Chain A
Amino acid sequence: MIYVALAYGFIWGAVFTYVLLVGRRVARINAEIEDLRRRVKLGS
């Protein structure tokens, strides 16, 4: 039973971690967009 639980738990953990990493990448892109907006505002 322990091996089956470990196997499914690992898959859940791996997918969850991947989604978190993608989420962090989205946050970084949003921060860069904000930075660009500020630069455009300063320039206009």
Chain B
Amino acid sequence: MLSPMSSRRNSSTAFIVGLLLTMLGFFVVPLLVAMAPLERTMGLVQKIFYFHVPCAWLLMLSTFVCAAGSLAYLFRGSERGDRLALCSAELGVLFGLCVMVTGPLWARAAWGAFWTWDVRLTSSLLLWLMLIAYGLARRYGGANGRRLAAAMALFAAADVPLVYLSVNIWRGLHPTTKVVSSLAPGMRTPFFFSLAIFSALWGVLLALRMRVEGAQAQLVELALTVEDAEEKSP
């Protein structure tokens, strides 16, 4: 059986290896994207697709993980679940911001406008705002802020299927969900590689953030113990 020290060392090594592979991947992705064939109608600007879609996938994944953690916190009182929810919500805000910037850049070149109130765009913006509201509720929601935020996370998760299916139900300017399955063979490898690297980055960042949050919780506990001991000592 591994001792806590060696298990911590192993997890640190795994974390550093994961981080290095992800950083390497972040340099390889643009090379693969540059080599991918040009799309006939949109040309070069279509290459934003290789970064925009993985960010959108991570926004949705973060929301689901946030909701799962919130469920564990609401119904089982799990502090770890609450920490997982907070960390994944933060990552959802980060990757949601990337979606909100890369999408309009693509739209400006493809549609001639940075923003249209298309259902996909509006529901994605709403999802991102819900995750920001989650963070604000935790910070400024007072004594019940964490529970209020956890309930909001469940509403955010309910918006995810709407975001995903909106392009199939209400046809607008945004491409439908079939775009990935109909990719040309030369576009599939860079796309799935990019998706894997972005997902790995998300995993590494989540692990890093969970460690910080765990350390913070231990610190608060220790500080309370020290204060308690100081009060009792003559």
A positions within 8 Å CB-CB of B: 1, 3-4, 6-8, 10-12, 14-15, 18-19, 22, 25-26, 29, 32-33, 36, 39-40, 43
Where chain B touches its partner, the secondary structure class is helix
Could you pull out 18 A-B pairs where Cβ atoms are within 8 angstroms?
A: A3-B106, A4-B45, A4-B47, A7-B101, A10-B98, A14-B97, A15-B94, A15-B201, A22-B205, A22-B208, A22-B212, A32-B223, A36-B219, A36-B222, A39-B226, A40-B226, A43-B229, A43-B230
A22 to B214, CA, bound (A): 13
Interface residues of B in 191-234 (CB under 8 A from A): 201, 205, 208-209, 212, 215-216, 219, 222-223, 226, 229-230, 233
Quick check: is B105 within 8 A (CB to CB) of the other chain? yes
Among A4, A6, A11, A19, point to the contact of B55 (Cβ < 8 A). A11
Task: Chain B residues near A14: list those with CB within 8 A.
Answer: 94, 97-98, 101
A25 to B222, CA, bound (A): 18
Task: Chain B residues near A39: list those with CB within 8 A.
Answer: 226, 230
Q: Which of A18, A26, A36, A43 has the largest count of B CB atoms less than 10 A from its CB?
A: A18
Q: A22-B212, A36-B226 are in contact. Are A6 and B105 (CB under 8 A)?
A: yes
A42: nearest residue on chain B (CB-CB)?
B230
Interface residues of B in 8-29 (CB under 8 A from A): 26
A10 to B28, CA, bound (A): 17
B211: nearest residue on chain A (CB-CB)?
A26
Q: A4-B47, A12-B26 are in contact. Are A32 and B219 (CB under 8 A)?
A: yes
**A26 lies within 8 A of B94 (CB):** no
**B212 lies within 8 A of A36 (CB):** no
**B105 lies within 8 A of A29 (CB):** no
**A26 lies within 8 A of B233 (CB):** no
Quick check: is B176 within 8 A (CB to CB) of the other chain? no
Quick check: is B165 within 8 A (CB to CB) of the other chain? no
Task: Chain B residues near A22: list those with CB within 8 A.
Answer: 205, 208-209, 212
A43 to B45, CA, bound (A): 64
A11 to B214, CA, bound (A): 27
Quick check: is B51 within 8 A (CB to CB) of the other chain? yes
Q: A32-B223, A40-B226, A43-B233 are in contact. Are A3 and B108 (CB under 8 A)?
A: yes
A1 to B85, CA, bound (A): 37
Known contacts A11-B55, A36-B223; 18 additional CB pairs below 8 A are A4-B45, A7-B101, A7-B106, A8-B30, A8-B51, A10-B98, A11-B51, A11-B98, A12-B26, A14-B97, A15-B205, A19-B205, A25-B216, A26-B212, A39-B226, A40-B226, A43-B229, A43-B233
